[in-house]
Structures are given as structure tokens and as C-alpha cells.
Structure 1
Amino acid sequence: MLYPQRNKTREIIELDGIWNFKLDDGQENRLYENPLTDTMMMPVPASYNDIYDDPKIHHHIGGAWYERSVYLPESWSDKRIVLRFGAVTHHAKVWINGQLALEHSGGYTPFEADVSNFLDKDYNNRITVWVDNRLDFTSVPMGKMFQVTEDIKWLKYYFDFYNYAGINRPVVMYCTDQLFIEDVNITTEVEKNNGYVDYVIDTKASDVRLLVKDMEGKLVAKGSGLKGRLSIENVKLWQPLNAYLYTCVVEVYHEEQLIDAYEESFGVRSVEVLNDQFLINGKPFYFKGFGKHEDSDIVGRGYNEALNIRDFSLLKWIGANSFRTSHYPYAEEILKMADREGIVVIGESPAVGLNMNLFQTKDETFDYINLKPIKYPSVWEVAECQDNHIKVMEEMIKRDKNHPSIVMWCVANEPASDDKGAYEYFKPIVNFTRSLDPSRPITIVEYNGALPMTSEVTKLVDVVCLNRYYGWYLATGKLDLAEILLSKELDGWYQMHKKPIIITEYGVDTLHGNTDTIAKLWTEEFQEAYLNLYHKVFDSKKFLIGEHVWNFADFATAEGITRVDGNKKGIFTRNRKPKKAAYLLKDRWHKIDSFYYK
């Protein structure tokens, strides 16, 4: 799916700003038939949960309504008009002037539709959006509704971050000619000093022309047709922390008249997993960075351009070269920043927490209404989300395929990979992912309970990614024991599977400003001691090719007795103030080169 673009053939109306908003009362009222009444103001993009000081909004489960109006310019009268949402969490229905125009499930990928037939091109047009934050065993991620009484309901979600909801990413309306460019697919290869660009253009037009320009605007290649290969002599490679981007200008003509155009930036680089190494442009790369979240005060998971630029500044300050989009595809604009800044990205799907046993509570294992215990089967016996899992992989890859910053796809985070049925669940998803994009490696992040001999999914992936918390959740506070357990387990994974390993999560909850003369739990000194221990083990393992600390910054979670105002494992606070450990990492990572470290 192409990112919206304003150029000489395409125009955009940005629909961000203040929308009318109200919560759904659960009565299935047909509120889209008439303008909403009794509304409040709500910013878009933003999560609605923390805008107002109202627990009914913060804890709301179910639907909510957004509405605004838009006038169309007269120049659009004969155009194809598309309404596009960057992301709505988790389900959306959209009406235009009271008519259902589009709907979508999945809270982290864009959706759009040609809405020309729903619009009144002479008058104001009313756009009404119904969003629903509920999850079930068919959704990705999964959740479960508990309806205790008619008035008391509770949504259990199987992931450890807050279930922010709303229109979280930008909304636009754009126009094209009726004969238009539907998609641009670019893959690259490197051979000596030459770069090769393979392209496929999706369009019903027959006269398609391409120009490739360098960053100075100089023409370096040109071609024509729906698909082909272009060669760039003396190519400049896209490198980690040293990005170089080319622009592919695609133009569609009809009777020698330009009717549509699109410019897609791309980088020329190669990616390969070979033996114990992850190669970028033929050189062994070492991942330094974080798991992150789209999370900040007030706007929640809403797209925040200033904050994102601040985060990239901190990534470079601390010496990071990469991050994982834990635990869902991030906004397209973030990936564009990564392309430009040379930050390497592991693109992850929203299939997080496919392991109900991880976060089971007494509320789930005992039926307090009927006073009897509840026994859950394996997650793979009850999960009904495989079809939607495949769907989100397709949507993510189609959206992000041309980003040079993305070097690997992560199919899931912390699934029950050691439960019977995991292989049967993941094999078709991994195969489908490879068929869509054979150019990038694939991984599945293992949870803390999976072992080298019990995981059923390791054979499917190219790189072993592990989340490990020895010294925190296991062997709590006992760092000498944690060192032995971590080292022994890493050796076991490599000896059994002979694949390179990235530690995609390691960290401890740390209260900013909580210090002591002894490295006690929750102190900044313990966070430093914990990181030093892990780094000592990492440096002794040649097959370990990366370290991603959990987490970049403190973030919001559901309330719980182990979560005091959210997850505090951040190296930075939620408002991006550094903890002591930030300086430890800064010193370490600036001394470790991105290439040839191991």
C-alpha cells in the first residue's frame, strides 16, 4: 500500500485535528444516520484514553464514535477520491453521509477505500467513525471479554502494555486520476560497485516510465514497463548509521499526457544470514539498541512527530544502531525516519502474547460466580487467530516492503512455542511470509519458558531471538546465579540449532532516582549491575549477534500489583529523562562498532 503523497498529479486533504467524540452506550444505536450530538472534542491522531480526567473514558471497553466534516475542492470533481486511515485500534467502521464506506480489523496497519460514490462533491461531507477496542481469540493480538454481570465487564488482554484505543495515526483524503499507480515494489541487489533495482509496478495503465535519481537529484537510471531491472553504476549503499537513499519516480501516461506519478525512496543494500552472522552489505552486523513502544503521556499510542524525532536523537546519543517494533508495526512515518537516519529495524507483527499461561491470574483460573476452578487447554487449542495473523503479516509486508531500514520480519513475540501445536500453527504463517518477501530473514521471539529442546518453532526461523530475564523474573536478585543460567542456556540454544542469536529483551524495573549504596532491586544501581552481568556473558559468545535492552523508555500497562504506574524497565523515563544505566550503555555502545564486533 502506497503512502499518501502530494505531487503534481495527486492532492491531499489532511483530516487530522479536532473531531467530535462520544462513547458508545452499548445499545447499538444507528448514530451514523445523523450528526452526533452531546459530543466532546477529541484530537486525531491520539488515543482517547488519557485526554480527559474521566475514568469512564480511560477504562472504556467497547465502541466509541468520532465525527468531522470535509469540503472537497472543485478540482476533485472528476477524480478518484480515497479515504485513508493510518491505524484505528482495533476495529473500525466508517460511514460517509450515513453510508457505510469501509471497515477494517487490526489496530496497527492502514486501510483505505475509494469513496468517490459516497461523497457529495457540492456540499459538506460528514465522516463518522466507530472504533472498538475489544479483542477475542480470533484477533491479533488476542484478548478475552469477561461479562461478570450485566453492568460489570472486563477485558483481559494477553500483552503487557496498555490497550490504548482510538484513531491513533493520521487520516487523509487524497485524489488520483481514474487510471492510477496502485503499488510500487522495489528489491535491490549489490554486486561489486553496481546496484541492481528490480521493480514491479501495479497499475492498469500500459505506458509506465521510471526515473531513478540520487540524493542530489541526478538521473542515474531509467526504464519503462510494468516490471524490469535497472542498474546503478558506482552505487552508494544504504548503510547502518550512514544512510543513502535513491528516489524512484514512476509516471503513468495516456496519449502522451501525464496522468499519475509517484515517488518512492529506497536504499540499495543486501541482507543475509550466513553461519553465525547477520550480514548487511556482506559485512557482519551487530545489533545494539532496544525494544520500544509507541507510548507517551496524554496521547498514549497516538502518532507524535516531535516525540519520534526526540527518540531518534536519543538513539544516536546513546550509540544504538537498531530497534524492534515491539509489539506491532509502528507508524509508517517512523520507518521513513529510520530509512533516513540509517537505523536498522526488526519489523514485528502484532501477534504478541499468544501464550495465555504467561499472564494468567487467579481471576482467570477460578470462576467466582459459580465457585469452581477453570482449567485452560493449550493456547493452540483455543486460538482462532491464524487467518487474521496471516492477514496482518500481509498488510505489514505490503506496507513496509520498500523500507531499507527493515532487515528482518518478526512473526510473533513470546508465543507458546513449546506447546503442542505451535509448529502446525506457525509453519503456514512463516511459509506465507517467505512467499511475500524472500529477501529478508524471519524470526519468532521466544518467551522465557521455551528451551532449546522444547521449542517447536526454532526450525522455522533464520535467527534465534530470545527474551531473557534471569536475575529479575527468575533467580530474582541473584546475579551470580543469573550469570550461570544465562550462559548455560545460550550455549544450549546454539549447540542444538547452530543459528545466530539476538537477545531481544533483557532488563529490570527501575525507579528513576531510587538509589542506594547497595545494588538492591528497583534501584538504578541494580539496573547497572544487571546490564553489566548480561554484557559480560554476551561478549563471551561469538554466536550472539545483538543486544536489545527492554525497554527504551518506561511505558503504560494495565494496572497490576507488579506494575507500579506502568512498566519501569526503561533506560529513559516515560518523558525521556535518562536513568544512570543510559550512561553505561552510551559508554559501551559507542565503543562497539556496528560491524565486525564478533
Structure 2
Amino acid sequence: FVYNKREFNIIDGKNTSKYPSGSFTYTVPFDFFHYSGILRPVNLLIRPRTFVDEYKIDTNSKGEFNYTFTVDGEDRKKVRGTVKVKDEDGNTVFESKELSGSGQVEQAKLWFPRGLGSPYLYTIEAELRDSSGDRIDVFRETFGFRSITWDESKVYINGKPLYCMGVGWHEESPIRGRSFDRVMMAKDLSLFDWLGINCFRTSHYPYAEETMREADRRGLAVIVEVPSVSPSKFIKKSQAIHASLLKEMITRDYNRPSVIMWSVSNEPFAFGSYKGGREYFAPLIDLMHKLDSTRPVTLVHGQTRYWNDYLSDLIDVICINRYYGWYIDMGVSPDQIASDLYYDISMWREKFKKPIMITEYGAEMIPGVLAEPSLAFSTQYQQEVFEGNHKALDRLRKEGKITGEMPWVFADFMTYMSTTRVGGNHKGLFTRDRQPKEVAYMMKKRYDALHAEMDG
């Protein structure tokens, strides 16, 4: 959420405010620059008088599916519809005269994220004809056959355990800021391919529809996150807005095979002595389960600890951000970082017995800063922090205590000005203009080795 904080000093007589008349301060509780204006494409849709308005599809790994097309317009009760499913070669593998129904594709090819199989996509097509037999509308969309299940330790795609080799990300770059840029999207996703990434989180807002389509096509598993960052004031008005945003998010991306999980918030102050968090989030998480029972719901913990958490019993998968060596115990050795992270996550696992992902870890590095022995913001120190985290992650993974990992962040990004931010956040594997840092090569080597291990 974005909070506007307007401050006025209105008294009788002379205005004593140090700010010019009409000015105000703008504060936000998150660590990225929000920019302004229109950030996504705006399109004018020219529709016929009667048209396909929405559709919903549920699939599984047996090739079975349920679908519903909603028709709107003045003659919606008079039109006749035909629904077809086509494979990637354009062959029709299913056909029906009903706009809502169920079916099955024999020997269906399944959608898998990278490393588990191919991301095969089918196309579903709904055609409307009027009483004269003239075609008045056609709706087409791609989808995939896949199932998502989870138990107390893992998430499965079509019965295969998924280990998320991911990254945190921002749809942000120089020149265009957060305005959607197709060229930058293609560049970033090509670098994902190079790194061996199979998963990402839409931190901290749903990403552009074009990005989600590419995730479907490229076989990237996605955790979609609602724009809720570090909430701390749990009031009814915010809860109502939050619920509305969740409905919009799930409605938009429900049919995407790449979406494997929904995130209700990033790093909320809902733990320990912070009051009202459970009463605020419990109805929202319940709403998410009702809107979509086929995918797990998560919440990304920040400062929450296993011993003061009061939300994790409500969610299906636990996501944790941890910065040992940076925000916690800066300057310690890689071995100490490994020990701290291993103990921390082991305690979460012992208490809750649910799948756990590490969704943020890392340290900042400003290009050109070199130091031996290492110092904060140097190339060497960022590498040492990654080294320590990887030692712990390897041990946790081999013991079945985690089901995924994501360093923060893919590329440096702009933030609001502060004494702790020198031209933005520099935790990236890449600079803001997408030039690799040393840790980018570390991550490529790591993920290549993990893919080889899991393939073997």
C-alpha cells in the first residue's frame, strides 16, 4: 500500500510553517521508488455488441479440465458458442458446443517449470455466432495442464518435487523506471535463462501481464504477491482495500499455469507485541483459499522469528527473508553466517513442519569498491555473504528442510533517498543497467550444479 501523509499547520494569524503553502510530505513504508504516472500499457478495446467477457479454467495432470466462458452484451442469451482446445501444432484436441463444461485431452502434454520438463501450452478458443450463423466474437488464450500439491516439506508440480532456484526482482530499470518495457523484460528473462532460474516472486506487486505470459512460455514458476509491503497499522479500511487487491490479483492470473503460489504480504509487522495482525490477516488468507483452493498461500516473513510468529499456522508455505551478514551480524565470517541461518530455519521447520522457502538473502555491493580483508559494500564481502548463505542452504536442502531459495535481488534498483541508500539498493546480482557482478557468476555456477544434481 502507499500511504500519503499530508501535514498542515493551521493557526490564527501568520502562517509559521516552514513549507510553502500547499506543499506536503510524501512518505512510504517500503524500500523501492514508486515513481508516478501510468506504468503499464493502456489499450482501447473495441468489442462487438455481444462478446466473451471472462473465462476461467481448472486443469490437472490427467488432462482433465473444467472451463467457463462468461458472455456479456445485449444478445448474450441468443448467441451460440463453440469451444475448442488446440495443441501447439494447431490440431483440435477437444470441441464442445457448450460455453461452460468439462473435458479431457487424451495423453495430454503437461506444463512443467524449467528443470522438471517442458512448459507445454495449449490454446483454448471460444467462438460466438448470432442466430444467422455469423461469427461475432472469438476469444483465445493459452493454458497448461498441471497440478500443484504440497505436503509438510515440499511443493510438487505434476507429482514432481519442485526446488525453486529463484531470484527476487523488480520491474524497474534506468530511463523508464517502473514503466513497462518489453525490451528490458526480454533482456531480464534472457539473463534468467543464463542463470538457470526456474522461479521468481513478483516482489512486491503483480507484474505486467506480458511478463506473466512469458513466464508461462519459458517455464518459470511464479509466486504472485499482492502490493502489501511492511504493513503495521491493521485497520478495517486497509483490510478492505487489501481484500479488493487480492480479488483482482487472483482473478487476473488464475488461469496462468506458471502461477504456483499466492503471497498475501511482504514482511508485515505482525508478530510478537504487534497487535491486530492475526485478526487482520486471517480473513484475508481465508478469502484467498476460497478464491483458489488449487494453489498454496504464503506470507513472506521479515523480522518475524519462529518464537514470536502468530501467522504461519494459517498459511500453506512459509517464506522467510533473512540477511545474516548484512542487517544481522554484519562483518561475521561465512561460517558464522552459515551457522546462524541453518539454526534459524531449522527452528522454523521444527515448530511448523511446513514447506519453507528462503525468499531473500544477500548484501549490497557498489561496483568499484574492493577491499581485502573485505568490507561492507565491497565485491569481496558480497561474495562472502553469499558463500555463507549457500553453505547453510545446501545443508538445509539435503536435510529436506527447505524447498527453494532466492537471493535478493536480480538487479540494483532505485529507492527513496536516505542516508543508507547511495543511488538506490545495490544488492543486485547485476547492476541497474544489467551488467553482471561477481555474484552473478556465483549464482550461475550454483544453479547449473543444482540442475545437474537434480537431473542426475
- In structure 2, the residue matched to 1:514 is 369
* Structure 1 residue 146: Cα displacement: 3.6
State the SS of the aligned residue for 1:222: strand
Aligned equivalents of 1:562, 1:263: Cα separation in 2: 48
- In structure 2, the residue matched to 1:545 is 403
Which of residues 220, 244, 248 in structure 1 aligns to 2:120?
244
Which of residues 459, 470, 478 in structure 1 aligns to 2:324?
470
State the SS of the aligned residue for 2:351: helix
Higher helix share: 2
Which of residues 403, 406, 409 in structure 1 aligns to 2:256?
403
* Structure 1 residue 585: Cα displacement: 0.6
1:327-367 per-residue CA deviation (whole Å, 9 max, x = no partner) reads 00111000011111111111000011213xxxxxxxxxxxx
- In structure 2, the residue matched to 1:375 is none
* Structure 1 residue 163: Cα displacement: 1.7
- In structure 1, the residue matched to 2:203 is 326
Contact 1:283 1:596 in 2 (8 A): no
- In structure 1, the residue matched to 2:13 is none
Aligned equivalents of 2:27, 2:366: Cα separation in 1: 27
TM-score (norm 1): 0.70
Which of residues 40, 45, 54 in structure 2 aligns to 1:174?
45
Aligned equivalents of 2:143, 2:2: Cα separation in 1: 30
- In structure 1, the residue matched to 2:428 is 570
Which of residues 281, 290, 313 in structure 1 aligns to 2:190?
313
Contact 1:327 1:352 in 2 (8 A): yes
1:133-184 per-residue CA deviation (whole Å, 9 max, x = no partner) reads xxxxxxx244533446435421110010002110111111121111111101
1:2-54 per-residue CA deviation (whole Å, 9 max, x = no partner) reads xxxxxxxxxxxxxxxxxxxxxxxxxxxxxxxxxxxxxxxxxxxxxxxxxxxxx
Aligned equivalents of 1:277, 1:332: Cα separation in 2: 28
Aligned equivalents of 2:352, 2:23: Cα separation in 1: 48
- In structure 1, the residue matched to 2:71 is 203
Contact 1:143 1:158 in 2 (8 A): no
Aligned equivalents of 1:190, 1:594: Cα separation in 2: 25
2:383 maps to a residue whose letter is: E
Taking the TM superposition and a 5 Å limit, the aligned residue runs for 1:65-464 are 140-147=1-8, 149=17, 150-191=21-62, 195-204=63-72, 205-206=76-77, 207-241=80-114, 242-255=118-131, 256-355=133-232, 379-380=233-234, 384-418=237-271, 419-447=274-302, 449-464=303-318
Aligned equivalents of 2:432, 2:7: Cα separation in 1: 31
- In structure 2, the residue matched to 1:558 is 416
1:87-145 per-residue CA deviation (whole Å, 9 max, x = no partner) reads xxxxxxxxxxxxxxxxxxxxxxxxxxxxxxxxxxxxxxxxxxxxxxxxxxxxx244533
* Structure 1 residue 230: Cα displacement: 1.4
Aligned equivalents of 2:452, 2:226: Cα separation in 1: 25
Contact 1:199 1:228 in 2 (8 A): yes
* Structure 1 residue 594: Cα displacement: 8.8
1:407 maps to a residue whose letter is: I
Aligned equivalents of 1:248, 1:151: Cα separation in 2: 54
Aligned equivalents of 1:595, 1:566: Cα separation in 2: 36
* Structure 1 residue 452: Cα displacement: 1.3
Contact 2:339 2:392 in 1 (8 A): no
Identity of aligned residues (%): 37
1:277-301 per-residue CA deviation (whole Å, 9 max, x = no partner) reads 1101101111112110011111110
Distance 1:595 1:455, change over 3 A: farther
Contact 2:204 2:227 in 1 (8 A): yes
1:372-406 per-residue CA deviation (whole Å, 9 max, x = no partner) reads xxxxxxx22x5731001000111111111111111
Which of residues 491, 499, 503 in structure 1 aligns to 2:346?
491
* Structure 1 residue 514: Cα displacement: 1.9
RMSD over aligned CA atoms reads 1.7
1:493-531 per-residue CA deviation (whole Å, 9 max, x = no partner) reads 111100011011101111123223322211111111111
1:588 maps to a residue whose letter is: R
- In structure 2, the residue matched to 1:20 is none
Q: Which of 459-468 and 473-482 deviates more?
A: 473-482
Aligned equivalents of 1:273, 1:521: Cα separation in 2: 39
Aligned equivalents of 1:596, 1:141: Cα separation in 2: 42
TM-score (norm 2): 0.91
Aligned equivalents of 1:162, 1:320: Cα separation in 2: 25
1:144 maps to a residue whose letter is: K
State the SS of the aligned residue for 1:289: strand
1:431 maps to a residue whose letter is: D
State the SS of the aligned residue for 2:207: coil
Contact 2:346 2:401 in 1 (8 A): no
* Structure 1 residue 200: Cα displacement: 1.0
2:343 maps to a residue whose letter is: K
1:419-448 per-residue CA deviation (whole Å, 9 max, x = no partner) reads 22111101111111111111111001001x
State the SS of the aligned residue for 1:262: strand
Contact 1:285 1:595 in 2 (8 A): no
Contact 1:200 1:226 in 2 (8 A): yes
2:382 matched to 1:527? yes
- In structure 2, the residue matched to 1:118 is none
- In structure 2, the residue matched to 1:582 is 440
Aligned equivalents of 1:173, 1:579: Cα separation in 2: 42
2:81 maps to a residue whose letter is: V
1:174-198 per-residue CA deviation (whole Å, 9 max, x = no partner) reads 211111111010110113xxx1121
* Structure 1 residue 271: Cα displacement: 0.9
Unpaired stretches in structure 1, ≥5 consecutive residues: 1-139, 356-378
* Structure 1 residue 232: Cα displacement: 0.7
* Structure 1 residue 595: Cα displacement: 9.0
1:544 maps to a residue whose letter is: I
Aligned equivalents of 1:306, 1:288: Cα separation in 2: 24
Higher strand share: 1
Aligned equivalents of 1:511, 1:487: Cα separation in 2: 28
Aligned equivalents of 1:224, 1:455: Cα separation in 2: 52
State the SS of the aligned residue for 2:237: coil
Aligned equivalents of 1:178, 1:240: Cα separation in 2: 39
Distance 1:561 1:594, change over 3 A: farther
* Structure 1 residue 208: Cα displacement: 2.1
Q: Which of 518-527 and 246-255 deviates more?
A: 518-527
Unpaired stretches in structure 2, ≥5 consecutive residues: 10-16
- In structure 2, the residue matched to 1:129 is none
Contact 1:146 1:155 in 2 (8 A): no
